[in-house]
A and B are shown apart, each in its own frame.
Chain A
Amino acid sequence: MRLPGEEIGDLGLQGLRLTLTLCYINFVVYLAIYISGMYINIYITSGVNTISIGDPSNIIHMVGATLNFAFTFIVMMVGFLYGMRRVALFSLGAVASLVVATVGGLLFLATGGGRQSGDLTLAGGWIMSLLFMLALFLSYYATLKVMRAVRILEATGRTE
């Protein structure tokens, strides 16, 4: 049975639920990155001090960013492989945003690591923050599409 206008892919209900769980875990990781980033901003640098790559809070933040990127990438690949175009495209946008955000973070660290280290450092910080928010927004839409596909399959009583 085809459902015109709806994008349910060929992943099946069980696979969609697993993907949705991954999306939820990804949001927890987004939250962890946000909290660790704010912690660094307020308590470590305080707008004056610098931070190095080896600082424990920075390592936690970077490991969180790695997990976040990996989970978003996995959702994108699932979208491409299992015929869910919108999930794939929204996640692709999030992945691209995270790449640029990472470059911003690298710029921040490499040019001083403090808000008063110069314009380039400040620009790196802004790029990191803004693109992070864009990625969160796009991941949210991808998750909504997965959620909708789950609801449709549940409502129609299909498993595949």
Chain B
Amino acid sequence: MQDTLESRAESGARHARRLVYLIYLQAAFLVVTYIEGMWAALTVHGFSITLPDVIEHGVASSGFALMTGVVGFVAALRGQRRVAILNLALFVVTVLAGSTGFAFLANPTDPTEVAVTNLSMITTIALGMPITGFSLTKVSQESRGKPDELSPSTIMTYLALGALSMTTVAGAAMLSTTPSWYAFAVSAHVGLASLTVALVLGVLLTSVMGTSEGGASSWEAQPIAYSLIALAAAGIAGADGVVYMTTGDLSYVLVMAEVGVLVYAFLLIASGAPYHRGAARGGAGEGGRTVPQGAIGR
């Protein structure tokens, strides 16, 4: 009886770790889709279905949609209701946003089509950022056998991902709106970017402060390192934005988007950390932990 229970726990943890890898893959597709989309929006003139940039963006976004569907369905199989519902909703939104792309390819010069496509696709990316962050946190907690808890660092990460996603939407609105809305979009973009930087700093601070167990504070190295890199990336993206506003050179917008998406990537890794490859071969429970709590001195 005991063996059966242990075997089930082991099998459950193994499946949860596989789901973690799928979420990382989903996030990787999101990053590539976003970068390809920004690249195409800023550098391509004369869109058509056979253009390599369009095909690459289509393949990456299809990968993202597929992974979102897979994560949602596997989460449903595992009984993770919230992760399943959020991912399946994201899947539907992704497919709908993709269909606006088909309509755009028929009329690539129509300003309305351009605005609808840009905003619907960036909204999908914006929804994808916090949803993948939430999914990864939940599933990696399960894979390590940790209780379903909401630590200050986790809350701060969710808020930072939300602010970052709103920043990208405001950024896309700058490129797509009418002149009367442009000033509003710029103000919103700069304000939300500042909020994102403040929240990433918050993630870093809450990671450093760690958790208090029996009066002794303890912290883990990986989340601190990743949130520090995310903060650096946010700073560089902000600097790129300032350079763009000064010079008007669109290539800086592209660099800003590329560096900005690194903020997302590192926040995501920080929320999934500590994690290492050996955990895949380990057992359930604390197998995924790289550094035992309190092992690193203050």
A residues near B (Cβ < 8 Å) are 10-11, 15, 18-19, 22, 52-55, 58-59, 62-63, 66-67, 69-71, 73-74, 77-78, 81-82, 106, 109-110, 160
Q: Which residue of A lies closest to B4 (CB)?
A: A160
| Complex contact B70–A77 (CB within 8 A) | yes
Task: Tell me if A109 and B49 are in contact (CB < 8 A).
Answer: yes
A70 near B69 (CB under 8 angstroms)?
yes
How near does chain B come to A103, taking the closest CB pair, in angstroms?
11
Beta-carbon contact of A53 and B102 below 8 Å:
yes
The answer on a CB contact under 8 Å between A81 and B99 is no
Give the size of the chain B interface in residues (CB under 8 angstroms).
Answer: 25
Evaluate contact between B98 and A53: CB separation under 8 angstroms.
Answer: no
Candidates A15, A66, A106; contact of B98 at CB < 8 Å: A66
Q: A53-B49, A54-B107, A73-B70 are in contact. Are A67 and B95 (CB under 8 A)?
A: yes
**Bound state CA distance, A113 and B124, in angstroms?**
30
Sample of 17 more A-B contacts, CB < 8 Å, known A19-B77, A59-B103, A78-B73: A22-B73, A53-B105, A54-B103, A54-B105, A54-B107, A55-B106, A58-B102, A63-B98, A70-B91, A71-B69, A73-B70, A74-B73, A77-B74, A78-B74, A106-B49, A109-B49, A110-B49
B69-A81 in contact (CB<8A): no
Residues of B within 8 A of A19 (CB): 77
Which residues of B are in contact with A by a Cβ distance under 8 Å? Answer: 8, 11, 15, 18, 22, 49-50, 62, 65-66, 69-70, 73-74, 76-77, 91, 95, 98-99, 102-103, 105-107
27 A-B pairs (CB sep. < 8 Å): A10-B11, A18-B77, A19-B77, A53-B102, A54-B103, A54-B105, A54-B106, A58-B102, A59-B99, A59-B102, A62-B99, A62-B102, A63-B95, A67-B95, A69-B62, A69-B66, A70-B65, A70-B91, A73-B66, A73-B70, A74-B66, A77-B22, A77-B70, A78-B77, A81-B74, A82-B77, A106-B49
Complex contact B76–A18 (CB within 8 A): yes
Separation of A111 and B8 alpha carbons in the complex (Å): 54
For residue A70, which residues in chain B have a CB less than 8 angstroms away from its CB? 65-66, 69, 91, 95
Interface of B is mostly: helix
A-B contact count (CB 8 A): 67
A54 and B102 contact, Cβ closer than 8 Å, known pairs A10-B11, A63-B95, A70-B69: yes
B106 touches A52 (CB 8 A): yes
Q: A10-B11, A78-B74, A78-B77 are in contact. Are A66 and B95 (CB under 8 A)?
A: yes
Residues of B within 8 A of A109 (CB): 49
For A18, the chain B residues whose CB sits under 8 A away are 73, 76-77
List residues of chain A with CB within 8 A of the CB of B107. Answer: 54
Given known pairs A54-B106, A71-B69, A73-B69, the reply for A81 and B76 (CB within 8 Å) is no
Please report the C-alpha to C-alpha distance between residue A70 and residue B105 in the assembled complex, in whole angstroms.
22
Which chain B residue shows the least CB distance to A75? B73
Cα separation A14 to B77 with both chains bound (whole Å):
8
C-alpha gap A70/B11 in the complex (Å): 26
Assembly CA distance A109 to B11 (angstroms): 47
Do the beta carbons of B106 and A53 come within 8 Å of each other? Answer: yes
Closest B residue, CB atoms, query A73: B66
Q: Within the assembled complex, what's the spacing in Å between the Cα atoms of A73 and B68?
A: 11
Per CB-CB distance, the 6 closest pairs between chain A and chain B, nearest first, are A54-B106, A15-B77, A70-B69, A74-B73, A77-B70, A59-B102
